[in-house]
Amino acid sequence: MALDEKLILASGSPRRVELLAQVGIEPARLMPMDLDETPKKSEHPRSLARRLSTGKAEAALAAIKGDPGAEGSYILAADTVVAVGRRILPKAEMVDEASSALHLLSGRSHRVFTGICLVTPDRKVRQRIVDTKVRFKRLSGLDIENYLASGQWRGKAGGYAIQGIAGSFVVKLVGSYTNVVGLPLQETLSLLSGEGYDIHRRWSEA
């Protein structure tokens, strides 16, 4: 089995799949792990991103135990957290959650943390936290009303998807853009490459 066919992505996120495809990586399996993502009392956003990404990777590792088809696989997990100061914004599932988040983000800076966790074929665990600072313009009532009507906020950390309409809200971004989408590519590929995964194998076919 080729190296690029041995990556298990412990996520069902279409955005993460698309980002990996952008750099020629197609996971052999998608294994979304259903964890309780509720922050612990006084938990820092960075710590939450680290804990959830590690938890997803460990859950995927436990799920493939004894599966000969998964032998020699790399397991990649990630979790993205949006925060204003220490206040963690939920993944918006209801319109009022998205509305509250957008009103909070309007005209101010926030941070996006993504925890990446990689389990290697010899079961070493490698982690990284990536931090991006984003500033939104001041949103009008009409901006918020029509963005909510678009539905692009649904299921998104902080109630927005930067790769869609909300990209027009950003006046300044410091750090990794792909981190805000959901998977920081440079750091992810660096982690994979450092553990022997051939990230260049399919570039000539891209």
Residues forming the active site: 79
d(CA 184, CA 179): 4
Contact call for residues 48 and 88 (beta carbons, < 8 A): yes
CA nearest to 81, candidates 90, 73, 71: 90
Contact call for residues 8 and 75 (beta carbons, < 8 A): yes
CA nearest to 108, candidates 82, 81, 142: 82
